[in-house]
Amino acid sequence: MDVFTAVAEPSRRTLLDLLADGERSAGELVASLPALTQPAVSRHLRILREAGLVEVRPDGQRRIYTLRPEGLAELDDWLARYRRYWTRHLDSLERHLADTRTPTAERTDQS
C-alpha cells in the first residue's frame, strides 16, 4: 500500500500521531485506540510498516514500534508543488526550519 493510501485512514494517522511522541509497544497502541480490537490495530501497524512509516523492534514478547518519518517524505515532496500557492504559516515554517536544520547542514543538492 502506498503512503498516500496508508495515511488516508484516520486510525492510522492516530497511530502515527501517538508514535510521534515516542516509541510505543503494540499493546500500548491497542489501549490508545479503544474503538478497535487488537487484531485491527495489529493490521494497521502492518500496513504502516509495509508503507515504510514505522519500524518494529522485538523486546521479549513485546513489539516496540517507532516512527519512521522519512516515509512521509514522498507525501511532502508531492505537497511541495502546491505549497507555493498558499502563504499561510510561511513565516513560522521558515523559522521552524531555521531552528531544526541539522548541525551538519549538507548542501549536496543540485545547483
Partner DNA sequence: GGCATATATACGCGTCAACGAATGTACAGT
Partner DNA sequence: ACTGTACATTCGTTGACGCGTATATATGCC
AA identity, residue 78? W
CA–centroid distance for 67 within its chain: 6
Partner whose footprint covers residue 13, from DNA, a second copy, none (CB < 5 to 8 Å by kind): a second copy
Per CB under 7 A, does 63 bind DNA?
yes
Please state the closest distance from residue 60 (CB atom) to a second copy, in A. 27
Cβ distance 36 to 11 under 8 Å?
yes
CB atoms within 10 A of CB 14: 17
Rule CB under 8 A: say whether 110 interacts with a second copy. yes
Q: Which residues contact DNA (rule: CB under 7 A)?
A: 1, 5, 8-9, 11, 25-27, 30, 35-47, 56, 58, 60-63
